[in-house]
A and B are shown apart, each in its own frame.
Chain A
Amino acid sequence: MESFLNALVSGLISGSLYAAMALGLTIIYGISRIFNFGHGVIALIGAYIAWIFVQNSKIADTSLLLGILVAIVFLFLLGFLLYRYTMNPLMKKPNWEISTVLFMLGLGILLENVILQIFGPRVKSIPVFKEGNIRIGMVQINWHEIIIIFIVILAIFLLNLFFKHTRSGQAMRAVAQSIPGAKVVGIDIEKIFGYTFGLAFVVTGISGILLGTKYYMNPHIGWEWMVKGFVIVCFGGLGSTNGAIYAALILGVVEALATLFLSAMWVWPIWFAIFMIVLLIRPQGILGGRV
């Protein structure tokens, strides 16, 4: 019972990390219909920028906060400019659905190798936010994981506020629901797409930083993160943020229980079996829809 409860909690913790990971992917798809195949590497860029600031510290301090801020600014600009100078011209051509995917895939491989050149192949990690752990009944949970869950919940809350109550957020939802409608009311949709990429890259970078504190990172792990994000987003329903959150929590718990009862080796086969069964029964995912 105790190990079951602990597995459940650790599943929810990794699930919330996966949710953060999937959000950036689903935001871009939901609004622009582009599937970002460079997603994992964007998360890694966030993690490596943060690492630059904390490489000499054993524990997290204000330098991590500074690193996160720099990563946010850098990734927003990267997303905005990348849309403006690459996605935007590609989207005006026929077959943009496939050319944008291939472009982002190529960019991912390029950036992966840039990271390899700059930071080398060795495994790195970002220090945890707070050492130590607490016990609640039979469940043991460490402070770091509590902080991760708090950050993820806060991020989801802030994103919801943004989409509901700000003009740019409403414009993004409008563009997601009807591009002709958005143009008719006077929304500059290219600008909104640019903001969308900036926002999604920031969210993705933050998820990469969180993953870098809980696990580890090397220049190649972005692809593994992306595949997980891909499964979650398809499982939850392409373009649905709530769907991605539910899917991430379900798959996180599945992962933890599979590890407990079978072994870690079974996690990927079980994930993919569930994923394919869901696709066959409900191709639109559990909550197929829009942002």
Chain B
Amino acid sequence: MLKVDSINGYYADLHVIKNLSLRIDQGEVVALFGPNGHGKSTLLKILCGLQHPKSGTILFNGENITAYPSHRIVELGIAYIPEARDLFGDMTVMENLNLGAYNKRARHSIPQNLEFVFEIFPRLFERKNQLCSTLSGGESRMVAVARGLMSEPSLLMVDEPSIGLSPSLRSSVFEALAKINREKGITLLIVEQEIRDALSMANRIYMIKKGEILFEKPSAEVDINEIEKAYF
């Protein structure tokens, strides 16, 4: 589905992604681990077109999307949920969700997608007319994921879904993600620091360090110690 071939990416002047290659198959849940500042977020931004690599290619379903701007990539079916959420604070939850379906493809299925989104996040239904700037951290996170789902993606990339959430909220966000994968067949790429949670739902993991892939494994074969060791 997604094939990344030896890309190089920069954060300001820093060479943070070095000759990195990876692939994601249809229907998979892939977790991306690695210490902070080692290029995980930059990689996601490159994959969704917010930044462009200096070299290398990115193929999505066979189409070369390396130089595409973000709005074309969304149109093709890749959604990115930034860690910073980037919600529209002066708009209601409903307005944010409708804007999630901005691309032409998603416009026609707004009612079905809304129904699914409210089913996995019933809390958002209660808050649908509330301004996003008045939501709690957990609710904002839910809106961010829901807004991404409204774009009707086939690949959903989530940057640190659990950051800043209480353990109970954290597990409900992970449950929601699992359900998205299971019921909608949406492929997931998750960057996460909560290794155990992410490991339990992922099929495969990539460990990234200093902008390079340190190793790649099916999660069943992963020894949690080797991941923790890689962090230091």
Binding site for B on A (CB under 8 A): 167, 170-171, 173-174, 177-178, 180-181, 183-189, 289-290
- Check B90 against A177 for contact (C-beta < 8 Å): yes
Q: A181 CA to B147 CA in the complex, in Å?
A: 10
Binding site for A on B (CB under 8 A): 48, 50, 69-71, 73-75, 79-82, 84-91, 95, 98-100, 102-103, 147-148, 151
Say yes or no: A170-B95 contact (C-beta < 8 A), given A178-B87, A183-B50.
yes
Query: Could you write out 7 A-B pairs with CB less than 8 Å apart?
Result: A174-B99, A181-B88, A184-B86, A184-B148, A185-B103, A186-B73, A188-B69
Say yes or no: A186-B70 contact (C-beta < 8 A), given A171-B99, A180-B82, A180-B84.
yes
Say yes or no: A186-B88 contact (C-beta < 8 A), given A170-B95, A180-B50.
no
Q: A167 CA to B99 CA in the complex, in Å?
A: 8
- Check A187 against B87 for contact (C-beta < 8 Å): no
Q: Please, which residue of chain A has its CB at the minimum distance from the CB of B103? A: A186
Q: Please, which residue of chain A has its CB at the minimum distance from the CB of B76? A: A186
Kindly provide the distance from the CB of A30 to the nearest chain B CB, expressed in whole angstroms: 11
Say yes or no: A177-B88 contact (C-beta < 8 A), given A184-B48, A186-B102.
yes
Query: Which A-B residue pairs are the 9 nearest by beta carbons?
Result: A186-B74, A181-B86, A186-B103, A188-B71, A177-B88, A180-B86, A183-B70, A186-B71, A178-B86
Kindly provide the distance from the CB of A177 to the nearest chain B CB, expressed in whole angstroms: 4
- Check A185 against B151 for contact (C-beta < 8 Å): yes
Kindly provide the distance from the CB of B114 to the nearest chain A CB, expressed in whole angstroms: 15
Partner of B75, one of A167, A186, A290: A186
| Residues in B neighbouring A183, C-beta threshold 8 A | 50, 70-71
Say yes or no: A187-B88 contact (C-beta < 8 A), given A180-B50, A180-B82.
no
Partner of B88, one of A167, A173, A188, A189: A173
Besides the known contacts A180-B50, A185-B103, A289-B90, 16 further A-B residue pairs in the complex with CB atoms under 8 A apart = A170-B91, A170-B98, A170-B99, A174-B91, A178-B88, A178-B89, A180-B82, A181-B86, A184-B74, A184-B82, A185-B151, A186-B71, A186-B74, A186-B151, A187-B71, A187-B99
Q: A22 CA to B89 CA in the complex, in Å?
A: 25
- Check B71 against A174 for contact (C-beta < 8 Å): no
| Residues in B neighbouring A173, C-beta threshold 8 A | 88, 90-91
Q: A177 CA to B90 CA in the complex, in Å?
A: 7
- Check A185 against B87 for contact (C-beta < 8 Å): no
Most buried by B among A167, A186, A289, A290: A186
Q: Please, which residue of chain A has its CB at the minimum distance from the CB of B106? A: A186
| Residues in A neighbouring B87, C-beta threshold 8 A | 178, 181
Q: A180 CA to B102 CA in the complex, in Å?
A: 14
- Check A184 against B98 for contact (C-beta < 8 Å): no
Q: A171 CA to B91 CA in the complex, in Å?
A: 11
Q: A181 CA to B150 CA in the complex, in Å?
A: 14
| Residues in A neighbouring B91, C-beta threshold 8 A | 170, 173-174, 177
Q: A153 CA to B88 CA in the complex, in Å?
A: 28
Q: A189 CA to B73 CA in the complex, in Å?
A: 14
Say yes or no: A167-B102 contact (C-beta < 8 A), given A173-B88, A184-B86.
yes
Q: Please, which residue of chain A has its CB at the minimum distance from the CB of B148? A: A184
Q: Please, which residue of chain A has its CB at the minimum distance from the CB of B105? A: A186
Q: Please, which residue of chain A has its CB at the minimum distance from the CB of B150? A: A185
Q: A216 CA to B50 CA in the complex, in Å?
A: 49
- Check A185 against B90 for contact (C-beta < 8 Å): no
- Check A177 against B89 for contact (C-beta < 8 Å): yes
Q: A93 CA to B79 CA in the complex, in Å?
A: 28
| Residues in A neighbouring B90, C-beta threshold 8 A | 173, 177, 289-290
Q: A177 CA to B95 CA in the complex, in Å?
A: 13
